[in-house]
């Protein structure tokens, strides 16, 4: 019922309801925590949290909620996270837009990874930024390229997705994280780290988040409840050092409107106080981990050996590499006829490169549908 075209925002094509669109990069609607939200609503009401949910909130967000969030993050990052370093947002998309407003002028240059999250590119375009891409290898962004371009372009910031990268699934190595911080200080740019998948690992956790380097005063670490609880909440946070925090708190939107989401913060405060998030996150990791294995195994068995990929250890996505003369956009047309789909690679490049790649999401569909989708795709590829 839920998985119809109705929920397919950002997918420009009308799909038939039996299409398995592996391009959709969203949490599975069937896994959304409806019962936890109901419990939280009752808790919230019984404890009269509305006194802090209904007025204008503090610029940085509700203290009670930030306290709960700091404890949650301290537990999962295995590092103390101070509530003084947390600025509450409406999720990472709006956090990113706020950062563009506060730290850039139109025409300024920023860096992204090649490839990068396709829809972040639209946010940067809205802010009229000059986007320069830095290539990646299996360990993340290539440091020599970053240094050479930093010297040349003097970017305002680097936008990076360090863990279980969208679209590649790659995790930036510990050593490169440190090198990026050193370069950000040497060349005076900010590191805007989209740490949306940091907590969604299926076994070994990734290296500590970029939020570990707040002392550099160059890091803005963006986190969100969209992938670990529910995207409709539009609730996230920016973890940052003292100086950058003072810039966020001084933004006109929070001077005028107060905290960015006091109402929803009250509900999620209840979710955290009731200890509902940890078990829900464990459940998600188990399910997504199994789905990841299923999609990878099915691809290994059914796709031609000329198509390669690396099995991700977390996140939402697997990144397929086709032979270099293949444009996946053309393949998509065939796949759609066979009632499946993916996101073609060119979307993730600010230069419209990576045309011989495809991003598949294993989070949105169940194991059986993933198998069926991949088999349809394999069949589609065999056709002339």
**How many residues of this chain interact with a second copy, rule: CB under 8 A?**
72
CB 181 within 8 A of CB 219: yes
Q: Is 366 in the site for a second copy (CB under 8 A)?
A: no
CB 77 within 8 A of CB 208: yes
Q: Compare residues 101 and 174 and give the one whose CB is closer to a second copy.
A: 101
Q: Compare residues 119 and 182 and give the one whose CB is closer to a second copy.
A: 119
Question: What does the alpha-carbon distance between residue 124 and residue 216 come to, in Å, rounded to a whole number?
Answer: 24
Q: How far is the CB of 236 from a second copy (least distance, A)?
A: 9
Residue 254, both tokens: 């929070």
Q: How far is the CB of 293 from a second copy (least distance, A)?
A: 25
Which 79-98 residues touch a second copy, going by CB under 8 A? 90-94, 96-97
With CB under 8 A as the contact rule, the residue among 19, 20, 21, 27 that binds a second copy is 27
The upper half-sphere exposure of residue 211, i.e. CA atoms within 13 Å in the direction of its Cβ, equals 29
Q: Is 142 in the site for a second copy (CB under 8 A)?
A: no
Question: What does the alpha-carbon distance between residue 264 and residue 61 come to, in Å, rounded to a whole number?
Answer: 11
Q: Compare residues 205 and 231 and give the one whose CB is closer to a second copy.
A: 231
Question: Can you list the pairs that 319-324 forms with residues at least 24 positions away whose Cβ atoms lie under 8 Å?
Answer: 319/115, 319/167, 319/168, 319/169, 319/170, 319/357, 319/358, 319/359, 319/360, 320/357, 320/358, 320/359, 320/360, 321/356, 321/357, 322/356, 322/357, 322/358, 323/356, 324/356
Which 291-350 residues touch a second copy, going by CB under 8 A? none
CB 52 within 8 A of CB 62: yes
With CB under 8 A as the contact rule, the residue among 134, 136, 199, 230 that binds a second copy is 230
Q: How far is the CB of 185 from a second copy (least distance, A)?
A: 25
Which 207-226 residues touch a second copy, going by CB under 8 A? 226
Q: How far is the CB of 355 from a second copy (least distance, A)?
A: 21
Phi, psi torsion values for 358, nearest 5 degrees: -145, 140
Q: How far is the CB of 170 from a second copy (least distance, A)?
A: 20
Q: Compare residues 45 and 186 and give the one whose CB is closer to a second copy.
A: 45
The upper half-sphere exposure of residue 295, i.e. CA atoms within 13 Å in the direction of its Cβ, equals 30
DSSP H helical ranges for the chain: 34-46, 50-53, 63-77, 92-103, 118-126, 143-153, 174-186, 242-249, 252-257, 262-273, 277-302, 328-337, 367-382
Which 104-123 residues touch a second copy, going by CB under 8 A? 105-107, 117, 119-123
Q: How far is the CB of 383 from a second copy (least distance, A)?
A: 32
Q: Compare residues 127 and 177 and give the one whose CB is closer to a second copy.
A: 127
Which 36-55 residues touch a second copy, going by CB under 8 A? 37-38, 41, 44-45, 48, 50-55
Q: What share of the chain is helix, strand, coil (3-state, %, to 5)?
A: 45, 15, 40
Which 146-175 residues touch a second copy, going by CB under 8 A? none
Q: Compare residues 30 and 137 and give the one whose CB is closer to a second copy.
A: 30
Q: Is 204 in the site for a second copy (CB under 8 A)?
A: no
With CB under 8 A as the contact rule, the residue among 262, 341, 345, 373 that binds a second copy is 262
Sheet with 140-141: list strands edge to edge.
86-89, 236-240, 219-224, 190-194, 157-160, 109-114, 130-137, 140-141
Which 231-260 residues touch a second copy, going by CB under 8 A? 231-235, 251-260
Q: Compare residues 90 and 328 and give the one whose CB is closer to a second copy.
A: 90
Q: How far is the CB of 101 from a second copy (least distance, A)?
A: 5
Q: Compare residues 56 and 243 and give the one whose CB is closer to a second copy.
A: 56
With CB under 8 A as the contact rule, the residue among 4, 7, 188, 246 that binds a second copy is 7
Question: Three-state DSSP class for 357?
Answer: strand
């Amino acid at each position: 019922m839920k998985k119809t075209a109705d929920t397919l925002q950002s997918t420009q094509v009308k799909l038939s309801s039996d299409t398995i669109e592996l391009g959709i990069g969203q949490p599975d609607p069937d896994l959304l925590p409806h019962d936890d939200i109901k419990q939280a609503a009752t808790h919230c009401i019984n404890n009269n949290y509305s006194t802090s949910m209904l007025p204008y909130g503090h610029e940085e967000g509700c203290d009670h909620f930030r306290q709960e969030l700091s404890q949650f993050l301290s537990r999962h990052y295995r590092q103390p996270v101070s509530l003084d370093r947390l600025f509450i947002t409406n999720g990472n998309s709006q956090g990113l837009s706020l950062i563009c407003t506060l730290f850039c002028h139109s025409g300024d240059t920023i860096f992204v990874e090649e490839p990068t999250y396709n829809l972040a590119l639209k946010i940067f375009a809205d802010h009229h930024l000059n986007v320069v891409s830095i290539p990646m290898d299996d360990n993340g962004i290539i440091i020599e390229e970053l240094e050479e371009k930093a010297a040349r372009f003097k970017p305002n910031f680097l936008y990076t997705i360090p863990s279980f990268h969208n679209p590649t699934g790659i995790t930036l190595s510990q050593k490169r994280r440190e090198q990026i911080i050193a370069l950000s200080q040497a060349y005076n740019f900010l590191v805007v780290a989209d740490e949306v998948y940091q907590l969604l690992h299926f076994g070994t956790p990734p290296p500590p988040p970029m939020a570990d380097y707040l002392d550099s005063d160059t890091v803005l670490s963006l986190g969100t409840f969209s992938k670990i609880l529910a995207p409709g909440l539009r609730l996230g946070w920016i973890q940052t050092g003292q100086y950058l925090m003072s810039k966020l708190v001084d933004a006109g939107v929070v001077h005028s409107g107060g905290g960015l989401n006091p109402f929803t913060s009250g509900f999620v405060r209840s979710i955290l106080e009731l200890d509902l998030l940890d078990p829900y996150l464990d459940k998600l990791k188990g399910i997504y981990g199994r789905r990841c294995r299923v999609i990878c195994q099915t691809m290994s068995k059914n796709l031609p050996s000329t198509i390669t990929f690396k099995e991700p250890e977390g996140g939402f996505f697997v990144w397929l590499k086709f032979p270099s003369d293949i444009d996946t956009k053309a393949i998509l047309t065939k796949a759609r006829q066979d009632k499946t789909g993916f996101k073609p690679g060119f979307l993730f490049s600010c230069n419209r490169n990576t045309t011989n790649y495809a991003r598949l999401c294993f989070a949105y569909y169940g194991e059986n549908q993933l198998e069926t989708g991949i088999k349809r795709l394999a069949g589609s590829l065999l056709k002339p």
